[in-house]
Structures are given as C-alpha cells and as structure tokens.
Amino acid sequence: MIGAYLITPLVLTFFSVLLMVVVLTANARSSTNRLFACFLIGLATWGVFIFAMRASPDLDHAYFWEQWFAPLGAINAVLLFHFTIRYTFREVRSWVLPLLYFVCLLILFLAPTGLALKSMQLKSYGYVPVLGPVWYFVIFFSYALTVMTMVVLVRSYRTAGDAEHRNRIAYIFIGIIFMLVGGVFDILPMMGLTLYPGLIVGNIAFCMLTTVAIVKHRLLDIRVIMRRSLAYFMTSAIISIPFLVIFLLATTALIELEFGIWTFLLLLLLLALVVPSIWRWAQERIDRWFYGGRYGFMKALEFFGSTHSFAESGRLASTMCDLLAGALRAQGVYLLLPESDTGDFKCIASAGGKKSASDISLNSRSALLRWLKHTDAVLPYGDIDMIPQLRSMSPSEREVLNGVSASLIMPMKTRTGRLPGVLILGPKLSGLPYYVEDQQLLVGLSNQVATHMDNLRLYEETRQSEKALRESEEKLRRMFESMTEGIIISDPQWVITEVNSPAIHMHGYSSKDELIGQSVFGLIAEKDRTRTTQSLKEAVQEGVRLIECALLKKDDTEFPAELSSAVLRDASGAITGYVLVTEDVTERKQMEISRKEYERRAHAASRLATVGEMAAGIAHEINNPLTGVVGFSQLLIKKDIPENIKKDVEIIYDGAQRVASIVARLLTFARQQKPERRHVNINDILRTTLDLRAYHMKAHNIDIATEFDPELPTTLADAGQLQQVFLNLILNAETEMKLAHGKGKLLVKTETENGIIRTSFTDDGPGIPEENMKRLFEPFFTTREVGQGTGLGLSICYGIVTEHGGKIYARSKLGEGATFNVELPIISINEAPGAVQPQPAESEKTASSRILVVDDEPMVQRYLVRILTDDGHTVDTVDNASDALTKLKSNDYRLIILDIKLPGMTGIELYNRIKKETPSLTEKIVVITGDVMGEDTQNFLSANKATYIVKPFDFEQLQKTLSRALG
C-alpha cells in the first residue's frame, strides 16, 4: 500500500505532463489549449508536491510541501473554470476572472503564514494536514468554482448543436465529478475521518477521461497521430500493471523470502514471455472498447482492404459498401465512380439507404467534385457551407446529397492524386455523429480501395488495350490478306518471314511455307537482280522508293512488277526487318501502251481539229481573191491577146486553179464537208480507184495484187471520200516504192472481222521509221522535199475515216515495207442524211435582166459586173445588206447574187429578211459562198434549197448557174 501511496502522485504527474505535451503540440498558439495546458501543469505540480510530501522523512518536511497545496488547489480550480468558459465561449463579466486570480494570489501569500495549514499529523497511510481557517475558505472557493464550471458545462451541453461537442463536454464533466468525489476523500480525513485520500485518483481519472475525449471526440482538435499515441499509451499503461505488481511484490513481500530474488527474476521471465500475448489482448480489448459492436466489421474491413484481388473486382464495390455500412452503422453507403465517356460520377454500388443508386450522380463540372479532387480529407456534409469553394455548388448537387441524407463525403484518392471514386455516407443508424475513428477508418480504407480501383481501371484499360490490340491485329491481318498487292516481310538479312496471299499467288506458289525462308532477292529476275538489290538497299536507307523490275514466278517465268520497301524498327530504332510491297504490273503495262496510243490519237485529233478550224478560216479568206484571179485570168485567156501573154495568163490560171484545189482539200480536211453516205461496196470503190492509177502503176513497174473478200458486205459511206482516202494511200505507196527502188508490189486486201471491214494496202517500199510512225497522221507532217507534198494527205484520210466512225493505222518495219489499214464499221442502216449538192447548172445564154450583186469583196463585185455586163445584163452592186434592202425596195431585179458573208447583217440574215418581207424574191436569189462546208451555211442552204455557187468559180460555172436561175 505504501508503494501505491507513493506511486499514484507520480502517475498523476506523468499523465498530466503527457497530456500537456499533447495539447501544446496540437496547437500551442490557441489560448484555450494554453489554458488547459496550464491546468495540467497545475495537476502535475500537485502530483510532484504530493509525492514530495508523502515521501518526506518527517512531519516538518511534509509540512513544507503541504503548505503549497492550498494555493495550488485554488489556482487549479480557477484555471479549470477559465478554460471551461473559454472553451464553451460563455461570457462572464470582465472583472470576474481578474478577481478569481487575485484571490488565488491572496491565498498564495497566506499559505506560508500558517493560516492555511497549522501543522501535519501522521496517520496509518501517511501524513495528514491539520487545517487552518484559510484552508476551509480554499476548499469552499475551489468547490464553488468547480460547481460553477460544471454549470457552465451543463449550459453548453444543452445549447451545443454538435453531438460530438456534447460528448466532449460530457467527458470533461464526468472527469470533474471524479475530481470532486476524490476531493471529498481528501477533505474528510483532514476533518478527522479515517479515509484514504482520493483526489489524486480523481485527478488521474480526470486525465484518463480527458484522454478518451481527445482520442474519441477530438477534444481540442488534437491530431490523429496524437490520439493514436495516446491509445498506445493506454495499452502500455494496462501492460504496465503486472510489472508494477511484480515490482511491488519484489519491494515488499519477496524481499523477505530466501529465494525472493530468484522468484522475482522468474516472475519477470514469465512476464516477458507472456507480454506479447498480453499486448495483443490489451490492444484488442481497447479496440473492442472503442469500436463496440462494429469491431467485427472493422476486422472484416481490414481483411478486405488487404486481400481483394482482380478476380473479386466485380463484388468489390458492393462488398465494400456492405462492410462499411456495417462497420460504421451507416444508414446508407454509396460508391460513385466516374464514367469513362462523360466524366460524371455515377453510383455503382450502395448499401442501405432509401434512394435508388441509379438516381445518384454528380456532374463532371460539379463544384463538389472539383473540390474533392483537391483534398484528401473527409468532408462532413455540415462543412459544405464552411468551404468557400463549395459555395458555387449547384442546387442539383445539393439535391443529390440531400436525397441520400449525406453525412460524410469521402474522396477516394490514389497516391498519385487521382480521384477514382467518391464515397457518400448517410447518417449513422444511432443518430450519433461519425467519430474521428470512423473517419480514420474511412480514409484508410478508401485510400486502399482507391488504389485498387485505380489498379482496376488500369487493368481494365490494359484489357481494353489488349482487346483493341487484338482487334487491330486482326484488322491488320485482314487488310494484309485482302490487299491486292503482295506483301513480303523479311528479317534484316532479307530472308522472308511472312507473306500475304496475293504475294503467294503472284509468284505462282501454293502456300506461304514455300516462300518463307527464301531470300527476297531470289524472287527478282536475273536481269534485274543486281540493280534491284542495290535499289532496295538504297531505298531502305533513304526512304520509300518505287522500283520497277521483273520478278520471277515459281516456274521461272518473269513478270513486270513494281516494288516498294520500308524498314521495320523496334522501339530502340534497331532494324528488325523489311516490308516489301510488290505489284504485278503486266496488265497495267499493257493498259499503259493502250493508253499512250489513245493519248497519241487524241492528241492528233486535237491538232487536226485545230488545224481544221484554221484551214476553214484561211480557205474563206483565200476564196474571195481567188475568185477574181481565176475569173479575170480566164477572161484574159478568152481575149484576143498575144500568145506569149496568153501563156503567161494560162500559168496564172493554172496556178490559181491549183490553189483553189488546195483550198478545197483544206476544207475537206477540216471536215466541214459532211459525207454523203450511201450503201457502198468497198471492193467496187477500190476497183474504180485502182483503175484510175492502173496505167501509172504499170508505167512505174508496180504490180498490183488484190485479195478482195467476195462476200464483203456493203456499208454506209461516202463513196467519193473513201475513193479519196484509197487514192491517197495508193499514191503514197506508189511514190515510196518508186523512190525506194523504182518498182514495187502493192497488195490491196479487203476482209471482214468483228463487224468491221478492213482494207489494207501493203507495199514493199522502204518502210516507215519508228520515230515517224507516231506522227504519220499529223497535218503538215511530211518526209518529202518542199513542193513534193503538203503533208495533208494522210491527215485528210484520218479525218475522213474518223468521220465515218472507223480507224486508220499503219504497221511497218523499216526496210520491210508498210501496211496501211482502213477499218470501217459495217452499217446496215439504209437511210443516210441528205446533203446539199451543188446543182449542176446548164450553160445557156440568158436574156438581158436587171441583176443586183450584194458582195463586200470589190474584186468579186468587179468580176461579176464584168461578166454579167458582158452578157447584157444591167448590174447594180452594193456591199452591205441595208443598201441591198434599199435597192430591193426601189427596183425590181430579176436576179440577186448574194454573198453569204457580209459585214453587219450577214447574207443569211438578209435572205431571211427578204424571205419574211417578200417571200417571192427568194426564188431570184443565187447565193455565193467561199464556205459551203460551214455548218451554218450547209444548214442554210439545205433548209432553203437555195441556188448557190462556190467561190472560186470560173466563167462557165457562173454562167451555168445564172442560166438556171434566170431560166
């Protein structure tokens, strides 16, 4: 008992100092904490003084220490009161506290005077003071103050809105009751009753209860780590009890035994062996005490937090919610996870609660989520209004939280700061608040689960990636196989490792195994191997390059191909192989040749069309003056002029006729002249044409052979134009053979094939150089000397044949003669579009008439006037349509010679005007034109059946036409 008598004050001191350190460490700047620390210092001092008093060797020493108890007791009472009013924010008159401290000071001064403590006396358990009058006042003062403190606490308890705060107050209150009761046990012995002093025990109880309040109810906002330490301290304190017992035994009972020391050591050894078990037992007891009925759930949660695996992930969320609801006795637990597409947090699992989980969601823009991403702490619902960042929470967010009666909102954060989920807890079933331990549990668990959720997300993402990769691989495989190009993959040594089906077929193999293992270069034709190998190696160095080469099939046949290659590298950039893309271009090459041929033809046609337009324009311009030259030179020839001059004029006339002929051919070439198509027999036309040249051929030692198809069908064609074509080809062959070796052999052949009639002219002339082959049908292309040819012959042939829907081409090898083929379609349509033909005019002398000549060309005007006047006609001339109309209104003409091309109103427009105003006059109109082949002119003549004469015309032609018109 003596041991306990001495030790208990030291225990009090220890407890008090420990608590003081905790309180000041938590917040040394808080005046409330400081006040409480002061009170604890008072308690500690009290403990020290009591120990000193109790351990005193005599009454005098005991008296020395005991005399300070009165002021210490008063000061402690005042400090407790001061702390309480500060802690509860109760207000007291401003003079109250100074007065109380003043009283303490007074007592302190009175303490050494003997008014407080008369002397000390010895009792069975130790020293006991003999009280003086001031002591009674001190007792009254301290008790009164303590009662006041309790009143303040009761009032605060009643008004406290926070249940946790009420609990804290309750713990302090109960602690004070312990102190009061203990105090009674201290006072009564002083008054003569034989009781063991109990204030020390009461104070220890106060400290213990305060510790519980700190640990369980966050008294004075002591941090978690402090409270944990205190919890361990309590465990240690429990463990220390057997040690103390052994120590007491060793110092009292065992010391007198013979084997006392051995017994003591044995007991210590036994204790050391059982301490771990005792520790675990004590820890479990404390945990059970803290957690009560939730202990089982806590343990389950701890187990759950450390053992879940991916296989359990499906149940993870709901199991966690269930366990949490059980462990925390929550009305509802909701787990919200983000949706991958919207980022909105949706409830995926819940336990308890009234609201359907599917109704609970937080928008990704939510102010709450934004805030939770930046915090690791549990957010009590009541704190939402305390956080300025959450003042922008939308009513809908609040509605969600209110809907689940949210009490706690827990961000589930990973170590990297991600927020993979949010836990929302409804209120406790008991209505009590969530304690710090609950929140602590939540934080610990949610961090674990958050990490697991994050791992799950990563796992899921990896799975998705793998799936995507597989799909991608499959897609690539399909693409690889479905490509029309052959793809060959090789290793860095160009040994084939993979090929697709087109490549297998392209090279004439039946399976990829036949190709795998071969060298890529072995697939290249011998002739191209060196070049292609070099190109491939360069290509992989420089980038993709298209290489044309011949590749080999399995049977060693070659085929043209295009090859491109690319390098395959690994992540480090090292070459792991090559990809070759091969394409069989046989078909394309053929198509290319055809395409080039078509292009060439199109080019030629285009040039011909351009030249044709130009030729038509030139022809018109030339025809007008040519009419004068032909006409006047003819007139001169008919005159009686000297013979030498007449011969000169004849040369002029012949020359002019030759020009007229060239112009006519130009117009034909320009395809202005529509073919007059009838059913014709090509064989007949050929015979007629050959007959025309038969004499000349024979004269130049040229043999003609014919192989006419007797069954050759007729076709729709212009016989004259075809004759022109054939004649041209015969003449060309004749000339070439004559020039080459002064003789020759010409084979003319007709045959039918696939709906066409092919006529071929094969000579044994010098042949056509390859470079000339492409240009044969170009206008003005000639190999003859200047003056020997116009270069228009074959172009005209090309135009005529094309106009007939056929084609003309040549085949030749230099030195082996040439063959010209004319292919015409077989057309069985009987009707052919009509074409206007100049109607042959009969030459006869006509009676004198009045004639109007409308032509803007002075030379033509003069020529007409001359001839018509010579024939006895009266001739008026005008050079424009309006003058003509004037003349027509004022005179009666027998004949009107009208040029189609007039400045201003054209001849056609004038004709139409006359037709409209005086239709009968149109019968008297003879149209002259240098452009009879023009489309407009053709249409006009055809529509009006007008009599016309083509420039350049000579005297006879004119007279015939006029006779017919006037007749």
Partner 1 sequence: MLTMRENFQSGNRERLWRKYCGFLDLSITEFMEMQEQLLMDHIDLVYNSPLANKFMPEKPTSVAEFRRLVPFTTYDDYAPLLGDKKESALAIKPYCWAHTSGRGGSTKWVPITRAAMEHMLNAAIGMSILASANRKGEINIRNGMKVLLNMPPAPYFSGILAPLMIDRLGAQAIPPLDKYANASFDERIQAGLRIAFRTGVDFVSSLTAVMIRIGERLSEGSPQMKFNRHMLHPRIMSRILIALIRSKREKRSLLPKDFWRLKGLVCYGMETGIYREQLIKYWGRTPFEVYVATEAGTIAMQSWNKKAMTPLPYSCFLEFISESEWLNNRKDNNHQPRTVLLDEVKPGECYEVVLTSFHGMPFFRYKLGDIVKVVALEDRESGIVLPQLVFQSRTSDIIDIAGFSRLDEKTIWQAIANTGVKYEDWCARKEYEEDKPIVHVYIELRQEIPVEDLEKAINKNLAEIDKNYSDLLNYLGLRGLKVSIIPTGSFQKYYEAKRKAGADLAHLKPPHMNPSDAIMMELINR
Give residues in contact with partner 1 (CB under 8 A): 87-89, 91, 156, 159-162, 165, 365, 367, 370, 382-383, 385-389, 391-392, 394-395
Gap between the Cα atoms of 512 and 517, Å rounded: 10
Burial class (CB in 10 A: 0-12, 13-18, 19+), 469: exposed
The nearest distance, CB 32 to partner 1, in angstroms, is: 8
Find the farthest-apart pair of alpha carbons in the chain and give their distance in angstroms, rounded. 191
DSSP letters for 769-781: -HHHHTTTTSTT-
Residue pair 128/121 in contact by the 8 Å Cβ criterion = yes
The nearest distance, CB 354 to partner 1, in angstroms, is: 21
Query: CA triplet 734, 737, 739: central angle to 5 degrees?
Result: 105
Closest among 352, 320, 349 to 335, alpha carbons compared = 349
Q: Which is nearer to partner 1, 90 or 607 (CB)?
A: 90
Q: Which is nearer to partner 1, 369 or 496 (CB)?
A: 369
Q: Which is nearer to partner 1, 160 or 300 (CB)?
A: 160
The nearest distance, CB 22 to partner 1, in angstroms, is: 19
Q: Which is nearer to partner 1, 86 or 288 (CB)?
A: 86
Instruction: Kindly report the number of other CB atoms within 10 A of residue 247's CB atom.
Output: 15
Q: Which is nearer to partner 1, 387 or 905 (CB)?
A: 387
The nearest distance, CB 383 to partner 1, in angstroms, is: 7
The nearest distance, CB 173 to partner 1, in angstroms, is: 16
Residue type present at position 734: E
Which strands make up the sheet holding 756-763, listed edge to edge?
702-707, 744-753, 756-763, 818-825, 807-812
The nearest distance, CB 9 to partner 1, in angstroms, is: 33
Q: Which is nearer to partner 1, 211 or 366 (CB)?
A: 366
Closest among 841, 783, 773 to 808, alpha carbons compared = 773
Residue type present at position 668: T
Q: Which is nearer to partner 1, 367 or 488 (CB)?
A: 367
- List the beta strands (DSSP E) in 200-276: none
The nearest distance, CB 449 to partner 1, in angstroms, is: 28
Q: Which is nearer to partner 1, 34 or 600 (CB)?
A: 34
Q: Which is nearer to partner 1, 336 or 367 (CB)?
A: 367
Gap between the Cα atoms of 430 and 434, Å rounded: 10
Closest among 756, 739, 757 to 748, alpha carbons compared = 757
Residue pair 545/539 in contact by the 8 Å Cβ criterion = yes
Q: Which is nearer to partner 1, 326 or 380 (CB)?
A: 380
The nearest distance, CB 30 to partner 1, in angstroms, is: 10
Gap between the Cα atoms of 761 and 770, Å rounded: 19
Q: Which is nearer to partner 1, 28 or 261 (CB)?
A: 28
379-380 and 408-412 beta bridge pairing: antiparallel
The nearest distance, CB 391 to partner 1, in angstroms, is: 5
The nearest distance, CB 388 to partner 1, in angstroms, is: 3
Instruction: Kindly report the number of other CB atoms within 10 A of residue 527's CB atom.
Output: 11
The nearest distance, CB 160 to partner 1, in angstroms, is: 6
The nearest distance, CB 171 to partner 1, in angstroms, is: 16
The CA-atom distances, in angstroms, between 856 and each of 782, 878, 901 are 37, 7, 8
DSSP, collapsed to helix, strand or coil, labels residue 259 as coil
Q: Which is nearer to partner 1, 29 or 415 (CB)?
A: 29
The nearest distance, CB 193 to partner 1, in angstroms, is: 41
- CA dihedral defined by 891, 892, 898, 904, rounded to 10 degrees? 30
The nearest distance, CB 367 to partner 1, in angstroms, is: 5
Residue in this structure with the two tokens 């004499």, named with its chain if needed: 695
Name the packing angle between helices 69-88 and 163-190 (round to 10°). 160
Q: Which is nearer to partner 1, 29 or 916 (CB)?
A: 29
Gap between the Cα atoms of 67 and 117, Å rounded: 6
Closest among 565, 578, 531 to 550, alpha carbons compared = 531
Gap between the Cα atoms of 304 and 572, Å rounded: 43
The nearest distance, CB 211 to partner 1, in angstroms, is: 21
The nearest distance, CB 87 to partner 1, in angstroms, is: 7
Structure tokens at 525: 């034709």
Q: Which is nearer to partner 1, 30 or 119 (CB)?
A: 30
DSSP letters for 530-544: HHHHHHHHHHHHH--
In three-state form (DSSP H/G/I as H, E/B as E, the rest C), the secondary structure along 609-651 is: HHHHHHHHHHHHHHHHHHHHHHHHHHHHHHCCCCHHHHHHHHH
The nearest distance, CB 324 to partner 1, in angstroms, is: 25
Residue type present at position 177: I
The CA-atom distances, in angstroms, between 173 and each of 43, 143, 152, 209, 469 are 17, 14, 10, 9, 68
Closest among 69, 177, 77 to 129, alpha carbons compared = 69
Q: Which is nearer to partner 1, 159 or 586 (CB)?
A: 159
Non-local CB neighbours of 512 within 8 Å, separated by 6+ positions: 498, 499, 504
Q: Which is nearer to partner 1, 401 or 878 (CB)?
A: 401
Q: Which is nearer to partner 1, 422 or 824 (CB)?
A: 422
Gap between the Cα atoms of 357 and 350, Å rounded: 6
CA 558, chain centre distance (Å) = 44
The nearest distance, CB 271 to partner 1, in angstroms, is: 46
Q: Which is nearer to partner 1, 297 or 434 (CB)?
A: 434
